[in-house]
């Protein structure tokens, strides 16, 4: 049996805020002590992770002096070197401080938008200094509790203005950095602008430098509103826009649970890993596999590392299951591409001749309508692979 123990070659990453989560929720305080970022790096190396990501404030407490910042960055760099951990992604906390209570880039107050830009540029500087190649934007509070407060079109305009500004800043500094936009439908606010990966993909096309910007979809965020995460990710991949991914577990219709990867809806997790690994033949996703999740509030430190191992092992087991599924001759027979010489010649690019051909086409519509497609069998085979019975 293959080893499912994670290694850095698997490109598994965690945020400082994930394994470092002290178990706070809206109804109760922390259940675990805060751990020093350097100790997190050491712990991640021990469990076989590849990298660590962070918000500016996760690493350098908000309000720290320049000297403190430099010391923290120096120590963190040393921990990264000592333990062979890299920083593939960084991001900005634009939601924690009271100044962001009405959003950051979409705030109606120009002082808040200016502060958000300055904070982000400083955070980008720090991320790049530590090696980040992807910069994530999760618009934590970019939304509303009441839409009476502003025209959403104005807010979108301000968000575009800020993204364009930051792209120029990255280019101006000569940073080798791509941006990845992360959607979430609601929470912490009632309605967040650009609620899904699909909204984000369109918004990107309206930016001044669309080639620099892609998406960072998160399992929990699409699943919360009952959408197919696999479809959202596939759309991003098909457009070459899957710049990063946040993996976790989530039940439909709940608050943002950020559970251990694969702990809910194993079948969707399987289909996601199958898509990312390209076992059905499509292009494979080659970026980091980031677990944006945290351990149950019931756990101590040992439970947190158990949680981290679980995320990675489940991913690897699902990848192995997906390979077995797609190599199964019975599966291949059901999903193989159908051919029809006449129809194939009439599909694809437009021509006047094809119009004629299509309109003249005589098909046995009734017979096609009653053909069985075998998807019940296919899905049962999937289930049996997933349960290890095949």
Can you tell me the distance from the alpha carbon of 200 to that of 221, in angstroms, rounded to the nearest whole number? 13
Question: What is residue 214's DSSP assignment?
Answer: E
218 is a site residue for ligand GLT (CB under 6 A): yes
**Is 221 among the annotated ligand-binding positions?**
yes
Task: Using the minimum distance from each CB to ligand GLT, give the nearer residue, 290 or 316.
Answer: 290
Task: Using the minimum distance from each CB to Mn ion, give the nearer residue, 208 or 252.
Answer: 252
**Is 151 among the annotated ligand-binding positions?**
no
246 is a site residue for Mn ion (CB under 5 A): yes
Task: Using the minimum distance from each CB to Mn ion, give the nearer residue, 277 or 292.
Answer: 292
By a kind-dependent CB cut-off of 5 to 8 A, residue 57 interacts, out of Mn ion, ligand GLT, none, with none
Task: Using the minimum distance from each CB to ligand GLT, give the nearer residue, 141 or 274.
Answer: 141
**Is 290 among the annotated ligand-binding positions?**
no
Task: Give me the phi and psi of 99, to 5 degrees please.
Answer: -60, -25
- Residues with Cβ within 8 Å of 210's Cβ and at least 6 positions away in sequence, in order, are 204
**Is 182 among the annotated ligand-binding positions?**
yes
Whole-number minimum distance, CB 91 to ligand GLT, in Å? 5
222 is a site residue for ligand GLT (CB under 6 A): no
CB atoms within 10 A of CB 348: 8
**75's tokens:** 């120590």
106 is a site residue for ligand GLT (CB under 6 A): no
291 is a site residue for ligand GLT (CB under 6 A): no
**Is 258 among the annotated ligand-binding positions?**
no
Can you tell me the distance from the alpha carbon of 283 to that of 56, in angstroms, rounded to the nearest whole number? 33
Residue of 14, 17, 285, 315 interacting with ligand GLT (CB under 6 A): 17
Q: Is residue 228 within 8 Å of 261, Cβ to Cβ? A: no
Residue of 14, 105, 138, 261 interacting with ligand GLT (CB under 6 A): 138
264 is a site residue for Mn ion (CB under 5 A): no
Can you tell me the distance from the alpha carbon of 121 to that of 18, in angstroms, rounded to the nearest whole number? 23
First-to-last C-alpha distance (Å) of the chain: 14
Can you tell me the distance from the alpha carbon of 336 to that of 340, in angstroms, rounded to the nearest whole number? 13
Query: Does the active-site annotation cover 58?
Result: yes
Query: Does the active-site annotation cover 202?
Result: no
Task: Give me the phi and psi of 218, to 5 degrees please.
Answer: -125, 130
The secondary structure of 130-157 as a DSSP string is TT--EEEEE-TT-EES-GGGS-HHHHHH
By a kind-dependent CB cut-off of 5 to 8 A, residue 91 interacts, out of ligand GLT, Mn ion, none, with ligand GLT
Q: Is residue 276 within 8 Å of 244, Cβ to Cβ? A: no
Beta strands in the chain (DSSP E): 12-15, 51-55, 89-91, 134-138, 143-144, 178-182, 191-192, 213-215, 246-247, 289-291
Can you tell me the distance from the alpha carbon of 293 to that of 257, in angstroms, rounded to the nearest whole number? 8
Q: Which stretch binds Mn ion (CB under 5 A): 107-115, 188-196, 245-253, 325-333?
A: 245-253
Q: Choose the catalytic residue: 56, 57, 58, 102.
A: 58
Can you tell me the distance from the alpha carbon of 197 to that of 357, in angstroms, rounded to the nearest whole number? 38
Residue of 57, 256, 264, 277 interacting with ligand GLT (CB under 6 A): 256
Q: Choose the catalytic residue: 10, 55, 256, 385.
A: 55
Can you tell me the distance from the alpha carbon of 162 to that of 193, in angstroms, rounded to the nearest whole number? 14
Site for ligand GLT in 24-83 (CB under 6 A): 55
By a kind-dependent CB cut-off of 5 to 8 A, residue 58 interacts, out of Mn ion, ligand GLT, none, with none
**217's tokens:** 């979809």
Site for Mn ion in 272-311 (CB under 5 A): 292
What DSSP element (H or E) covers 91?
strand 89-91
Task: Using the minimum distance from each CB to ligand GLT, give the nearer residue, 55 or 313.
Answer: 55
List contacts with Mn ion (CB under 5 A). Answer: 218, 220, 246, 256, 258, 292
Active site residues: 55, 58
Question: Which residues contact ligand GLT (rule: CB under 6 A)?
Answer: 17, 55, 91, 136, 138, 182, 218, 246, 256, 292
Annotated binding site for Mg(2+): 182, 218, 221, 246, 292
């Amino acid at each position: 049996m293959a080893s499912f123990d994670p290694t850095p070659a698997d490109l598994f990453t965690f945020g400082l805020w994930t394994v470092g989560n002290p178990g706070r929720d809206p109804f109760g305080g922390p259940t675990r002590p805060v751990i020093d970022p350097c100790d997190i790096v050491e712990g991640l190396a021990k469990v076989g992770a590849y990298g660590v990501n962070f918000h500016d404030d996760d690493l350098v407490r908000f309000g720290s002096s320049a000297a403190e910042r430099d010391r923290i960055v120096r120590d963190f760099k040393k921990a990264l070197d000592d333990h062979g951990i890299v920083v593939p992604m960084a991001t900005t906390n634009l939601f924690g401080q009271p100044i962001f209570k009405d959003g950051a880039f979409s705030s109606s107050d120009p002082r808040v938008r200016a502060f958000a830009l300055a904070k982000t540029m400083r955070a980008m500087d720090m991320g790049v200094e530590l090696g980040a190649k992807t910069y994530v934007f999760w618009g934590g509070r970019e939304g509303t509790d009441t839409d009476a407060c502003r025209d959403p079109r104005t807010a979108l305009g301000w968000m575009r203005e800020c993204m364009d500004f930051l792209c120029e800043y990255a280019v101006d500094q000569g940073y080798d950095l791509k941006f990845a936009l992360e959607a979430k439908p609601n929470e912490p606010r009632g309605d967040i602008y650009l609620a899904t990966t699909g909204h984000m993909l369109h918004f990107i096309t309206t930016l001044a430098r669309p080639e620099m910007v892609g998406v960072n979809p998160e399992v929990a965020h699409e699943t919360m509103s009952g959408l197919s995460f696999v479809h959202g990710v596939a759309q991003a991949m098909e457009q070459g826009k899957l710049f990063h991914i946040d993996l976790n577990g989530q039940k439909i219709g709940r608050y943002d649970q950020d559970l251990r990867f694969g702990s809910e809806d194993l079948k969707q997790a399987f289909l996601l890993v199958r898509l990312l690994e390209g076992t059905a033949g499509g292009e494979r996703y080659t970026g980091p596999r980031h677990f944006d999740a945290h351990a149950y509030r019931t756990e101590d430190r040992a439970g947190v590392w158990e949680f981290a191992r679980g995320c990675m092992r489940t991913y690897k087991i699902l990848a192995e299951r997906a390979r077995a599924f797609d190599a199964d001759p019975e599966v291949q027979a059901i999903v193989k591409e159908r051919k029809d010489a006449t129809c194939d010649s009439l599909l694809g690019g437009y021509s006047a001749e094809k119009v004629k051909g299509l309109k003249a086409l005589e098909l046995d519509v009734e017979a096609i309508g009653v053909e069985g497609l075998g998807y019940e069998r296919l899905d049962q085979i999937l289930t049996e692979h997933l349960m290890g019975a095949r």
